[in-house]
Amino acid sequence: MAKEIFITQWFSNEMLLAGETLIKRLDESNGKVAAAFWVLDAEAKIWELTIVSPLIEIEGPRNYYKRINNINESAKPEETVISLHDIRLSNTNNRIVKAIKRSVLGNNAILGNNRLGRNTLGGVYIEDMYLYRMDWTLLEENTSNTTTEDRVLRPTLKNAR
């Protein structure tokens, strides 16, 4: 099995590449990744990879974590994967996504592969962040059906590490 990446307060190239690989594999499995970004928890000084998808609201977080777990288990031994404990799932009403949407960046701006740090976007302070993508079409896909405000979901799989 692949080795898990060690997440610290410093954003590393290894984290960047492991996130890119996971997002690519989620795309290949029709994971509908609407937004994906690493964000630094300012208090804990730990990075978390946030995946935002309309499927999380539709299919449930447990199924989406299973999708990620299957991707991790199928990784080659020399590949680095992100532990489920370092991944947060969110519906399309994620507070950071909404903050970026409210910000000067606009609703139709093409956003991706940007490092954003020590910024206040749409009223939300972001200590440090690496943004892989924001897909406005997918973000709007489930908005009308979503009633839960900014629900970030944690892994619940029994064998999640």
Residue 157 pLDDT > 90: no
DSSP assignment of 78-143: TSEE--GGGEEEE-TT-HHHHHHHHSTT-SS--B-SEEEEEEEETTEEEEEEEEEEE-HHHHHHTG
Closest CA to 91 of 31, 136, 20, 148: 148
Given the structure tokens 């992100």, which residue do they identify? Answer: 82
The pTM assigned to this predicted structure is 0.81
Q: What is the mean pLDDT of residues 145-154?
A: 45
Q: Which residues make Cβ contacts (< 8 Å) with residue 105, sequence separation at least 6?
A: 111, 121
- Kindly indicate the confidence band of residue 2, based on its pLDDT and cuts at 50, 70 and 90: confident
Instruction: Express as a percent the part of the chain with pLDDT over 70.
Output: 81
Q: pLDDT (tens digit, 9 = 90+) per residue, 67-105?
A: 999 999 999 999 999 999 999 999 999 999 888 887 755
Cα pseudo-dihedral 15, 19, 22, 23, rounded to 10: -170
More confident residue, 113 or 31: 31
Closest CA to 26 of 16, 14, 36: 36
- pLDDT, residue 41, reads 87
Q: pLDDT (tens digit, 9 = 90+) per residue, 101-132?
A: 877 555 555 567 778 778 887 788 888 999 99
